[in-house]
């Protein structure tokens, strides 16, 4: 496949409110040839995540991590991929993002896209798949093959992108899963993914958990606000239980109390750790994505695509960011294809 000289990208403007239509705009940028382990990818579809909204505003940036696309060219160290391959991945927080027609990504954190999915359904998966898998199996130490079947897991934020995958992976591993959901539609979504019970995170969780038959749980995966549920997690975790967190707290946390009394393990999950530090096991992320692609193709896991907003454009990305910031989205919002209108494109160095 021919490597283009330039590409189009959507750049979010530093310090510009999402209420301003100029919060994001098209730019034209040069395309760099792949080096080392890099793949040059023609991006077909992208999904949005809360991390996009957190990174917006610090500097002008091409955001976006989830993507499904086609390999255009490969670097000299790459094995297992060739031009024309259909792939999916979540990228790196240190590199320009997937809100561009072309992107460089490390081949070690990439896998062949599920054959049974369209590109929009595939793009909905990578970041949340990696976060959920690493949280459950790498941080909490749950066996994905079922040796911990019957253990209990509370997922705080069950209807979100990460929670939607975590429910499915945990059920596949044989766990009894309670998911939090505050609305009828989000509860129905969680139950459709396999949750055994749902509790309302807008109310006191402890009495609801007890009424559902879970006065305590072996593991907690909190994919929502850490501070808000800190005491509740200490009350609900079983002695020698494990807790995994993904959201940075806004204040100091008291690490003692019930967590110390119960000898509970508290772990952090940050999906970008492996690519950020190029850890010795960086290729595990490509392996995880390949494993999940197989699960999807066998019908064991389903895509969490909730809505496709149309082709990539500044306006649609702004709208996606606005919706994510409400905290009420279920599953994943995806953009598929590229807006054909070439207006408002400005060059950049």
Q: Which residues of 289-316 are buried (b: 16+ CB within 10 A; e: fewer)?
A: beebbebbeeeebbbbbbebbeebbbeb
Task: Reply yes or no on whether the pLDDT at 337 is more than 90.
Answer: yes
- Segment holding 9, helix H or strand E: strand 6-12
Q: What is the pTM of this model?
A: 0.94
Mean pLDDT of 25-54: 95
- Segment holding 132, helix H or strand E: helix 126-133
Task: Reply yes or no on whether the pLDDT at 57 is more than 80.
Answer: no
285 CB neighbour count, 10 Å cutoff: 27
The full set of domain ranges for the chain reads: 6-125+280-347, 128-268
Task: Read off the pLDDT band of 327 (50, 70, 90).
Answer: confident
Task: Read off the pLDDT band of 280 (50, 70, 90).
Answer: very high
Residues 179-217 have pLDDT tens digits of: 999 999 999 999 999 999 999 998 999 999 999 999 999
Question: What's the confidence (pLDDT) of residue 309?
Answer: 96
- Segment holding 259, helix H or strand E: helix 257-261
Residues 289-298 have pLDDT tens digits of: 999 999 999 9
Q: How many residues does the chain have?
A: 349
Task: Reply yes or no on whether the pLDDT at 343 is more than 50.
Answer: no
**Same-fold call for 6-125+280-347 versus 128-268:** no
Class of CATH domain 6-125+280-347: alpha beta
Residues 135-175 have pLDDT tens digits of: 999 999 999 999 999 999 999 999 999 999 999 999 999 99
Mean pLDDT of the chain: 94
247 CB neighbour count, 10 Å cutoff: 18
- Report the interhelical angle of 161-172 vs 126-133 (nearest 10°): 50
**Cα separation, 36 vs 242, whole angstroms:** 39
Two structure tokens written together for 262: 């119960």
Q: Does domain 128-268 have CATH number 3.40.50.720?
A: yes
Task: Read off the pLDDT band of 340 (50, 70, 90).
Answer: confident
Question: What's the confidence (pLDDT) of residue 55?
Answer: 87
Mean pLDDT of 281-301: 98
**What is the percentage of the chain residues whose pLDDT exceeds 90?**
88
Task: Read off the pLDDT band of 347 (50, 70, 90).
Answer: very low
- Which residues lie closer than 8 Å to 112 by C-beta, 6 or more apart? 85, 86, 87, 88, 290, 293
């Amino acid at each position: 496949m021919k490597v283009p000289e330039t590409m189009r990208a959507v750049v979010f403007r530093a310090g510009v409110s999402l209420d301003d239509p100029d919060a994001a705009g098209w730019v034209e940028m040069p395309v760099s040839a792949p080096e080392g382990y890099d793949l040059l990818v023609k991006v077909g579809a992208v999904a949005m995540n809360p991390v996009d909204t957190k990174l917006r505003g610090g500097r002008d940036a091409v955001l976006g991590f989830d993507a499904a696309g086609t390999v255009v060219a490969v670097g000299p160290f790459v094995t297992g991929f060739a031009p024309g391959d259909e792939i999916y991945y979540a990228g790196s927080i240190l590199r320009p993002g997937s809100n561009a027609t072309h992107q460089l990504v490390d081949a070690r954190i990439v896998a062949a896209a599920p054959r049974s999915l369209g590109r929009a359904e595939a793009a909905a998966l990578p970041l949340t798949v990696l976060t959920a898998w690493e949280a459950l199996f790498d941080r909490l130490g749950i066996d994905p093959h079922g040796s911990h079947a019957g253990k209990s897991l509370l997922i705080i934020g069950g209807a979100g992108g990460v929670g939607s995958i975590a429910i499915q992976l945990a059920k596949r591993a044989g766990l009894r899963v309670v998911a939090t959901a505050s609305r009828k539609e989000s509860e129905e979504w969680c139950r459709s993914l396999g949750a055994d019970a749902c509790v309302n995170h807008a109310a006191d969780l402890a009495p609801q958990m007890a009424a559902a038959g879970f006065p305590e749980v072996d593991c907690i995966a909190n994919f929502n606000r850490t501070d808000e549920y800190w005491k509740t997690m200490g009350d609900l975790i079983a002695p020698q239980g494990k807790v995994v967190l993904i959201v940075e707290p806004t204040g100091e946390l008291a690490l003692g109390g019930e967590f110390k009394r119960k000898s509970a393990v508290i772990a952090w999950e940050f999906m970008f750790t492996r690519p950020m530090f190029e850890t010795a096991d960086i290729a595990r992320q490509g392996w995880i994505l390949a494993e999940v692609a197989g699960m999807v193709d066998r019908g064991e896991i389903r895509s969490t695509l909730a809505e496709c907003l149309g082709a990539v454009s500044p306006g649609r990305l702004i709208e996606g960011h606005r919706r994510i910031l409400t905290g009420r989205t279920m599953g994943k919002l995806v953009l598929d294809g590229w807006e054909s209108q070439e207006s408002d494109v400005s060059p950049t160095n």
